[in-house]
Amino acid sequence: MRNIKVILEYDGTDFYGFQYQPGVPTIQGELEKVLSKILKERVTVYGSGRTDAGVHALGQVINFRSQAKIPIDRVCIAMNSLLPPSIAAISACEVKEDFHARYSARSRLYRYVILNRSVRSAIQGRFCWHVPEPLDVCAMSQAAECLVGVHDFTAFATADRDERDSSSVRNVMQASVEHQGEHVVFNIRANAFLRSMVRSIVGTLVEIGLGKRRASEMCEILESCDRRLAGKTAPPQGLFLVEVEY
């Protein structure tokens, strides 16, 4: 039995998230359908992160096991010939039997993109959150520094998070906010994330950037472990899973 790892890009706009759900389009559902057709056997796909509906990926990692003899350099070619245009297999390799896309991961890097100008974009609308009012990036950056380290992130978690995640403690290695032209970009790397954690943080950061909150409130919210004190959840279209480290 071969264990195959594939790195994917996808535009999540038209999907109900990564994880398979009956009757609706999902990334996992499309992958398993295509791989089962290519390999002539039933295939189960494991992802490094179960991105929510509307969330994108530049470096999602999956793995699956197969007895098929397909050459590894043909895997992406075969997948891309059948996948919809919004999903692309970028690279593939064989990995050890004990490799698991989710449980073997050491860290994940997510990026959230905000278009910060007075008018919206007809082109970028699927891939950013349009905030027309000027944002105080210095205040947002100061607030983001509070997130670095090992903390309980209950204040930024949804009430219906995965019950298997018994702990809300996560180790954030990087959290930064910076201007990039008309965009404000938030990058965060952690060992793992709670459901909607990044989007809840971004919603709070934007309120700080708009002057509705003090930068120091981020630390207070984090320590409170009370989701009611944090900002609204940012929309999904600005969020990207950029990279998974093993």
Active site residues: 52
Kind of pairing, strands 87-95 and 107-115? unpaired
> Residue holding tokens 């057709």?
37
Q: Which of 205, 202, 226, 201 has its CA nearest to residue 214?
A: 205
Distance of CA 242 to the CA centre of its chain: 7
Which residues are registered as beta bridge partners of 175?
188
Counts for the chain of helices (H) and strands (E), in that order? 5, 10
* Residue 122 DSSP one-character state: T
Please name the amino acid found at residue 202. Answer: V
For 155, which DSSP code? G
Parallel, antiparallel, or unpaired: how do β-strands 87-95 and 169-180 relate?
unpaired
In Å, what is the CA distance from 82 to each residue of 129, 190, 192?
Answer: 31, 33, 31
Tell me which residue of 95, 15, 23 sits closest to 57, measured CA to CA.
15
Residue 99, helix vs strand vs coil: coil
What does the alpha-carbon distance between residue 111 and residue 109 come to, in Å, rounded to a whole number?
7
